[in-house]
Amino acid sequence: MSDATLTGVLETALYADDLDAVEAFYGGILGLEKISRGGNRHVFYRCGPGVLLIFNSGETLKPHEPGALPVPPHGTKGHGHVCFRVDSNDIEAMAERLKAASVDIEADFHWPNGGRSIYFRDPAGNSLECAEPRIWGL
């Protein structure tokens, strides 16, 4: 058996019923680059070296069509959480961008070990955080 090392998170998934609303939020307000949208099933965004996948959970529970990629059905219900990495000199600008778009910031604080986090919600109710990497000693 060989040793294998996980080197990072390649993709992260959230779930939302209204893909039009999340597309306007993630692409418009947060400024993420859209990779693709698959009808009412998913919308994918580039986020730094990784990818943010947003699925309509009702659609991802359906078995794949014959000839489609053999990705097994998956999905969840309820709110998820993603923390976006933001450099310390950009976190205030992100807070101002959110406020200008009338996005409520639920929490804005400095961690005891250093670093700042801001928490807010997307249109589907997912908990989002922007934080300086030093909250994890990075």
Q: Can you give the pLDDT at residue 122?
A: 97
Mean pLDDT for the chain?
90
What is the CATH number that goes with domain 11-62+79-136?
3.10.180.10
Q: CA 34, CA 51: separation in Å to the nearest integer?
A: 10
Domain boundaries, the chain: 11-62+79-136
Contact between 86 and 96 (Cβ < 8 Å): no
Is residue 115 predicted with pLDDT exceeding 70?
A: yes
Is this model's pTM higher than 0.85 or not?
A: yes
3-state secondary structure (DSSP) of residue 33: strand
Q: What is the pLDDT of residues 54-112, one digit of tens each?
A: 999 888 887 777 777 777 777 777 899 999 999 989 999 999 999 999 999 999 999 99
